[in-house]
Amino acid sequence: MRFLGLTYLGAILAFLYLPIAIMMLMAFNQSPLYELPFTFDLVWFKALAGNERLLTAGWNSVWIALVSSAIATSIGTVAALGLARNEFTGKRFLQLMLFPPITIPWLIIGTAMLIFFFWTGVGRGLHAILLGHVALSLPYVIVVVGARLATHGPELEEAAASLGARPAQAFFRVTVPLLAPGIVAAGMFAFAVSFDQFIISYFLAAPGTSTLPVEIFTAIRKGFTPEINAISSIVIIISMSLVLVVSRFYRFGGER
């Protein structure tokens, strides 16, 4: 029984990693048409270095992810603090408001943003994408930081106050150190959400400048160059590394 189970697990894992493995394999393969035999070659990565378009798009993706995660993490943490330590009418409502951005299909949100920005004159472009990415990351940040706050309850801050700490002192000496892992994890989530975001970026991108996923999409549609493989492999490695680092701070699965 156990053997059966482990085999099944192995099969599922193989299924999950198969395409990624093949893609990365092909990125290092000399042949431009995925033909075997496999000859190791860095030609596509070199070609990538000369591909202005992809590189600019990649750079855009990175700095947008950095800025949007910084913004989302700061205002999200502050909001989580406001929600966690207080009971007030409307709190339930605010908590429910966090669901739509993550559950409504991004297609719908993306098109809504497109219409609204167009109508209000904000227009399309990197600034619009930034606005959208922050909005998408916020619920994650608020939930992650909120969960961390919930595990401690208000007692530690009360203890600090009973020992004579002014509110600001209690915040910096007690709340922040305790929250730190949660904030870092939230920040990385926000970065990952933004960096990998395609749909919203697609609708809000202005012709000419866009983010990496959008560029890859256009390239796929137009006709294909193996440089896409190369850049895709890089993207996957970055995303996976981020998640691995986050999991050091914020335990998944193992403990409850």
Partner 1 sequence: MPGAEKHLRVTFLVAPAYLWLALTVFLPLAVMLFFSFLTAVPVGGREATLTLQHYVSFFTKKIYWYNALRSLELAAYVTLACVVLGYPVAVILTRMITGRAREAIFLMIILPFWTNALVRTFSWTMVLRGPFDIIFTYPAIVIGLVHAYLPYAVLTIYVSLQAIDERLIEAARALGASKRQAFMRVMLPLSLPGVLAGVFLIFIPVTGSFMEPRILGGKDAIMLGPIIESQFTATFNWPLGAALSFMMLAIILLMLALGYPLLQRHMER
Partner 2 sequence: MTTISVTSVSKSYGAFRALDDVSIEFRDGEFFGLLGPSGSGKTTLLRAIAGFVTPDRGRIAFDGEEVDRTPVHKRRIGMVFQSYALFPHLSVARNLAFGLEVRGDPKAETERRIEEYLALVRLAGLGGRKPRELSGGQQQRVALARALITGPRVLLLDEPLGALDRKLRQEMQVELRDIQRRTGITTIFVTHDQEEALTLSDRIAIINEGRIVQVGSPQEVYERPVSVFAAQFLGDANLFSGKATTGGLVLADGTMIRVSGQSAGLAVVRPEKVRIGRSAGAELNTLKGVVMQSVYSGASVIYRVAVPVLGETPFLAFVQNSSGELHAPGSEVTLAWDAAHTMAVAP
Which residues of the shown chain bind partner 2 in the complex (CB under 8 A)?
155-156, 158-167, 169-170, 173-174, 177-178
CB of residue 26 vs partner 1: minimum separation in angstroms? 6
User: Residue 105's binding partner, choosing from partner 1, partner 2, none, with beta-carbon cut-off 5 to 8 A by kind?
Assistant: partner 1
CB of residue 170 vs partner 2: minimum separation in angstroms? 8
Choice between 16 and 159, CB closer to partner 1? 16
d(CA 195, CA 111): 19
Choice between 163 and 220, CB closer to partner 2? 163
Choice between 118 and 153, CB closer to partner 1? 118
Choice between 41 and 158, CB closer to partner 2? 158
User: Residue 243's binding partner, choosing from partner 1, partner 2, none, with beta-carbon cut-off 5 to 8 A by kind?
Assistant: partner 1
Strand partners, 209: 206
User: Residue 132's binding partner, choosing from partner 2, partner 1, none, with beta-carbon cut-off 5 to 8 A by kind?
Assistant: partner 1
Choice between 46 and 248, CB closer to partner 2? 248
- CA dihedral defined by 130, 136, 138, 144, rounded to 10 degrees? -130
Q: Where are the alpha helices (DSSP H) in 153-225?
A: 155-162, 167-170, 176-196, 199-204, 212-222
User: Residue 2's binding partner, choosing from partner 1, partner 2, none, with beta-carbon cut-off 5 to 8 A by kind?
Assistant: partner 1
- Long-range interactions of 51-57: CB distance < 8 A, separation 24+: 51/227, 53/215, 54/212, 54/215, 54/216, 54/219, 54/227, 54/231, 56/209, 57/209, 57/210, 57/211, 57/212, 57/214, 57/215
